[in-house]
Amino acid sequence: MGLDASVMCTCYRDGKTRPCPFPDDYYIDNEGYPAVKLAGDETDDDQSDAFDRWLASCCPHPYMELQLVSIESWKRYESFRDALGQIGWEQFPTLKHVLPEENYGLMPANAAPKALAELERFRALNGVTRTFLVNSETGDSIGSDSIEYSRDGTEGLRIGFDDDGFFIIDTWEFKRELFRAKRFEQRVVQGEINQYDYRDLDSEQHLICSLPVRVFKQSEVGLRQEYPRLMHIEARTVETAYYEAVLKPLLTIFQASIDSGNPVRWS
């Protein structure tokens, strides 16, 4: 799951669309999208279909979308917000207010210039320190950004990591922490259904559960799963380009909001 953002064009406002089939019923809904007030009778479906057909091709921008961007990874987006907070939200007050915490909402156009400037300020930084889960035997990063990234809905377990270590929690018991370690070993316990034995290399604490840490590697026959044996938590400095997949769409959509004077719609 990711985050989409769009900005409506100005064609209708500027009188540059083909005539709307229902000009008296045209309006912008609470989510910032063109809509039509329905009659509330058996003609609703026909009216709605006719409006949708018009909206799809009424101007050079299909469905009146001047710009549409996608941030493909919600985890990377959360990581970006986490990085802003680590640096200090006082340096990014507009972004703190306008960046959504869910796939919904509007950012007013008058916030776009300041939001754009704050993105450029972040982009100009020399680097950002992030927390990584690392394969101790290869040095390869397994994951980053202090995120709970795997769960088992049958047992209510989640695994993840933060600055204080790798953890396993029981969400069915108010996120009770079952295991935490900064250096640990994962052993696969073979069986009808495999289990995974986690051992803290500093304290010898261990826990057997159904959730593994696994990575997917490309091979000649497709993706294969690997289960790293030795892992640790490590702080590494990354360039802000690490977040380019988030920065580029946001820069694009904020500029579109400035150009059009229309809000950013999150979805």
Q: Is 157 helix (H, G, I), strand (E, B) or coil?
A: strand
Phi, psi of 48 (to 5 degrees): -65, -45
pLDDT tens digits, the chain, 267 residues: what are they?
789 999 999 999 999 999 999 999 999 999 999 999 988 887 889 999 999 999 999 999 999 999 999 999 888 898 899 899 989 999 999 999 999 999 999 999 999 999 999 999 999 999 888 889 999 999 998 876 544 556 666 678 889 898 899 999 998 888 899 999 999 999 999 988 889 999 999 998 999 998 999 888 777 777 888 899 999 999 999 899 999 999 999 999 999 999 999 999 999
**C-alpha separations of 102 from 21, 43, 51, 74, 247 in Å:** 34, 35, 29, 10, 18
Flag whether the pTM goes above 0.85: no
Q: Which of 86, 227, 243 is nearest to 162 (CA)?
A: 86
**C-alpha separations of 11 from 34, 62, 75, 84, 97 in Å:** 12, 11, 35, 36, 29
